[in-house]
Structure 1
Amino acid sequence: MSESVKITEAAALQIKEMMKQNDEEGSLLRVAVKGGGCSGLTYGMGFVPEAEEDDIQFEQNGIQVVVKKEDAAILNGTVIDYKQSMMGGGFTIDNPNAIATCGCGSSFRTATQTGTPENC
């Protein structure tokens, strides 16, 4: 489970561009799971300068990714992609462990993790 999250080439290109624009080159991409949202869990992504002691670190398409060990099972098999359309672009997250998602698509729950639902 050393590479619990897959970053597609399109997502990696967008992440690298964001790193360049925000002066974050050399940073790591943290992918996380937090409590909240309509279904109980939400995703988080952001740049961090270094890994923490309880992180799993790996590379995907030239991006150094860190995931907390406790989040790795929930994120195992997750694919992060970037899609462009006439309305703009955005990241998509496909998690095979999610058994229910919110209508807005920003929260989820798994068979073993329900999180802490909030009102949408």
Structure 2
Amino acid sequence: MTETSRQVQMTESAAKRIQELIASNGTSDLMLRLQVSGGGCSGFQYEFSLDSDKTDEDNIFENHGAKMVIDDVSLDLLGGAEIDFVRELVGAAFRVNNPNATSSCGCGSSFSV
């Protein structure tokens, strides 16, 4: 995988939501952690959390003033993706537009490659 294809972007909407979550937590050293784990109805699932720790296997991406951390293994499955935050009638959530996913479940929280 080339360095360019291992990039992950976030929209302004996602960055704004990350900043809101960090502000409500009362500490400024947090980042959004995006991980891929086995499971879900399609084989892999996305997991989001706030984290202040970074390991040697982590990659930090910064867009629109917000930081996101992704471990190397997850990045292999997420390279080239865009993270968005959407508000719809059924609720609001982070959405991963992942070009590596060959299929995904109806709710968008799991995928296969």
Determine if the TM-score, normalized by the shorter chain, exceeds 0.5: yes
Q: How large is the RMSD of aligned CA atoms in angstroms?
A: 1.7
List, as ranges, runs of 4+ consecutive aligned residues in structure 1 with deviation greater than 4 Å.
none
Who is 1:69 aligned against? 72
2:30 partner letter: S
Work out which of the two has the higher radius of gyration on C-alpha atoms and give 1 or 2.
Answer: 1
After superposition, what is the alpha-carbon deviation per residue over 1:13-60, rounded to whole angstroms, capped at 9, x for unaligned?
Answer: 011001111224221221110010011100011111121111112312
Superposition TM-score, scaled by structure 1 size: 0.81
Gaps of 5+ in 1: 111-120
Gaps of 5+ in 2: none
Superposition TM-score, scaled by structure 2 size: 0.85
Number of residue equivalences = 110
Aligned-residue sequence identity (percent) comes to: 36
Q: Which has the higher helix share?
A: 2
* 1:9 aligned to which of 12, 18, 39: 12
Matches within 5 A, 1:1-120: 1=3, 4-110=7-113
* 3-state SS of 1:56 partner: strand
Are the equivalent residues in 1 in contact too, given 2:9–2:61 (CA < 8 A)? no
